[in-house]
Amino acid sequence: MGFNQQIAYLWVPYFGAAVARQVDPALDGRPLALIDDQGRVLAADARAAGAGVAAGMAERAAALRCPPAALLPAARYPIWEAQEAFWARIKRYADRWQPDGLGCVYLDITRMNGDLLGWCQAVALAVRELGWQPALGTTGSKFGASVAGQVAGGNAALLMMPVTQRTFLATQPVGTLPLDVDALTQLSHLGIRTLGQFARLPPAGVLARFGAPGRTAQRWAQGLDDRPVVPPWEAPEVSARAEFDSPLADRERLLAILGRHAERLLVPLRERFQVISRVALSVTRADGRVVPAGYTFALPAAAPGPVRFALATALDRVTWDGQPASEITLTLAGITDLPGRQLTLFDLNPDSRARLQATLDQLAARFGPDAFRFASLTDPDNPLPERRVSWRTYNV
Amino acid sequence: MPFRRQRKLDSLVTRLQAQYGPRAIHRDPPPRAPAPIPHVSTTFPALDAALGIGGLPRGRISEISGRVTSGKLTLAAKILSAAQREPDALVAWLDLGRTCDPDYLYRCGVDLERLLVVRPEDSADALTILLHLVESNTLALLVFDSLSDLRQGDESRLAGALERLATIVTQTQTAVIFLSDPGIQFRTLAHLATVRLELRFERWIELGPDVRGYEGQVKIVKHKLGRAGAEVLIRIAFNGTVSGYGL
């Protein structure tokens, strides 16, 4: 292999659908696809995926491919919060970890000493405690680990740990490579079905026909993937704690206290043009139990309105069981710089625009912002008309 | 008029006005040229000419009806693009049928940055949103697509909304266009619409084996501000963009 590393690929198959079903068990028994705010598929379950529904597909296309599927808005379910919980639980099991899409992470276990099988079982147990069924693959490279993990998940197995990476990869389909559709079609026409066949092709020929990406893919197929696991950059956070002499149960009072603390934390952030991505609460109940809850913003914000909404939502997500709160820790996480806004080329009449905005604010509050949309042409050359445009909903 | 007779007449008028008030007798102001009616061009010169006022009137309700593939959506899209010729004009597409294709509207010349697409949950929401948007008087044009997507039994709701709309829209500069199917008649709309156009597919325009566009016949079924009954042939060409005859 030449690279002295050991990588594990851990993923929860159909993570988005698993989270939705965990929240709403009534979704069992029907194919399921979750639609993002752009009208595209964010996640699908096994049955919908089997019918051809894939992430990134337009809602209409998904409905055509799998008519019995329930197409539900992803915003209804705490997918991002679940992903954060997944990461928080997993990252302690490895020196370095790297997220790779919804419910998928690479774990660097090169320096791990001891029983690998026992480690895998411990990781799987940690994920199962969150309510999901994981799958794991371990080899000496990221690509090999991801293929092994997919093989394990596809066979409803926990672990795929090939003895020899190159031999294992040689039998896998060439479609596991991250090549574009044209390149995969060409390989199919050339009769190249497996990674082993692709790995044996002359490198110069691969470079000439498929360019640098093709040559890189061939190196991966040969087990020569030296990409390291790169931990994500963790944004700073600030927190405040409120202790109550007598336990509090009144939601409005709790919300007012949290609002005051949040405002105090936000003032210096606003002065530095910074925004937050997530609000996290850790509530210590009168019975001594600590209950976490949170809210992740679709777009980072620091304005009072969105933060108040986030606090209220997070507070409503706390499991109270009739117990009042004796202490609350508020954390404003994911602090980043405020991104610049895209300026429009069309300077609209301010009066008319302000009036329209006021009208749309009222209508969006009543009928939902999803009903009011603007389209932009993002991929004008795409052969599928529905993929040429992307939608953005009206922001109140 | 001779000078002496003119002077006697002026003197008489002055006396009468002094005795009975200035409004008892007065001269009519000199006739002026009629003020142009605010309108949005259809982008088809022949149709604009047939309508007499240069296009579809603003501050009024219009109806474009036609069967599927008759070209009513294309005509509406071209009128949207014409409404956006004013620098700050905003337009809206009320997409009840959820069939709005921004890519096609773009190819018809519509500026998507100034197009609000409304996708209401049902026809009741659609009619409420329609009234509010028109009342805001911020839109140059609003297209309701389409009446054939209204639910069964919504006729009375539509009639009520249209009566209110007819009152509101005259206070605004918004042209409201309803797209409909000739198979479904809405009597209230037929009564309240200022202009009603009916489209009929005529023939494909072919060049060798290729279809390069089509011709449609537009009939002005009703026109409260001009002459009705005229029929105009419009040609719509496919060439990457969608262009109308004479553009």
For chain A, domains (ranges, CATH) are 1-24+77-232 (3.30.70.270), 25-76 (3.40.1170.60), 238-337 (3.30.1490.100), 350-393 (no CATH)
In a domain, B11, yes or no: no
Confidence (pLDDT) at A1: 43
In a domain, B150, yes or no: yes
**Which is nearest to B41 in space by CA: B95, B89, B78, B90?**
B78
In a domain, B232, yes or no: yes
- Measured between beta carbons, the chain A residues lying within 8 angstroms of B106 are 377, 389
The closest CB to that of B129, out of A349, A367, A376, belongs to: A367
Cβ distance B64 to B220 under 8 Å?
Answer: no
**Which is nearest to A165 in space by CA: A142, A135, A192?**
A142
User: On the CB side of A370, how many CA atoms lie within 13 Å of its CA?
Assistant: 13
In sequence order, what are the residues at sequence separation of 6 or more whose Cβ sits closer than 8 angstroms to the Cβ of residue B215?
Answer: B202, B203, B204, B205, B233, B234, B235, B236
- Measured between beta carbons, the chain A residues lying within 8 angstroms of B138 are 352-353, 355-356, 359
Q: What pTM, to 2 d.p., does this model score?
A: 0.45
Q: Which residue of A has its CA nearest to B102?
A: A375
Beta strand A96-99 with A104-108 is: antiparallel
Cβ distance B68 to B180 under 8 Å?
Answer: no
Kindly state the tokens that stand for A226: 């030296």
In a domain, B56, yes or no: yes
In a domain, B109, yes or no: yes
**Which is nearest to A137 in space by CA: A128, A123, A129?**
A123
**B215 touching A, CB under 8 A?**
no
Residues in chain B where the model's pLDDT stays below 70? 1, 33, 239-247
A394 in helix, strand or coil?
coil
Cβ distance A134 to A149 under 8 Å?
Answer: no
In a domain, B55, yes or no: yes
Put simply, the answer to whether B102 touches A345 (Cβ < 8 Å) is no
Cβ distance B94 to B142 under 8 Å?
Answer: yes
The closest CB to that of A373, out of B117, B129, B138, belongs to: B117
Q: Which residue of A has its CA nearest to B104?
A: A385
Confidence (pLDDT) at A105: 93
Confidence (pLDDT) at B245: 46
Q: Buried (b) or exposed (e) across A232-263, using 16+ Cβ within 10 A? A: eeeeeebebebebeeebeeeeebeebbbebbe
In a domain, B5, yes or no: no
In sequence order, what are the residues at sequence separation of 6 or more whose Cβ sits closer than 8 angstroms to the Cβ of residue A205?
Answer: none
The closest CB to that of A388, out of B103, B121, B129, belongs to: B103
The number of distinct structural domains making up chain B is 1
Q: How far apart (Å, rounded) are the C-alpha atoms in residues A276 and A155?
A: 40
Provide the β-strand partners of residue A290: A284
A93 in helix, strand or coil?
helix
Provide the β-strand partners of residue B197: B64, B220
Bin A139: left if φ > 0, else alpha if -120 < ψ < 50, else beta: beta
Q: What is the CATH number of the domain that holds B191?
A: 3.40.50.300
**B204 touching A, CB under 8 A?**
no
Kindly state the tokens that stand for B96: 């009840």
Would you list the DSSP string of A309-366?
Answer: HHHHHHHHTS--TTPPEEEEEEEEE--EEPPPPPPPSS---HHHHHHHHHHHHHHHHH
Residues in chain A where the model's pLDDT stays below 50? 1-2
Q: How far apart (Å, rounded) are the C-alpha atoms in residues B98 and A259?
A: 40
Residues 333-372 of A with CB under 8 A from B: 344-349, 352-353, 355-356, 358-360, 362-363, 367-368, 370-372
| Domain of residue B113, residue span | 39-244
Confidence (pLDDT) at A163: 73
What count of CB pairs under 8 Å joins A to B? 83
Q: How far apart (Å, rounded) are the C-alpha atoms in residues A98 and A103?
A: 11
In a domain, B163, yes or no: yes
Q: How far apart (Å, rounded) are the C-alpha atoms in residues A354 and A357?
A: 5
The closest CB to that of B132, out of A346, A347, A359, belongs to: A359
Confidence (pLDDT) at B25: 84
Confidence (pLDDT) at B240: 55
Confidence (pLDDT) at A98: 92
Q: How far apart (Å, rounded) are the C-alpha atoms in residues A278 and A311?
A: 10
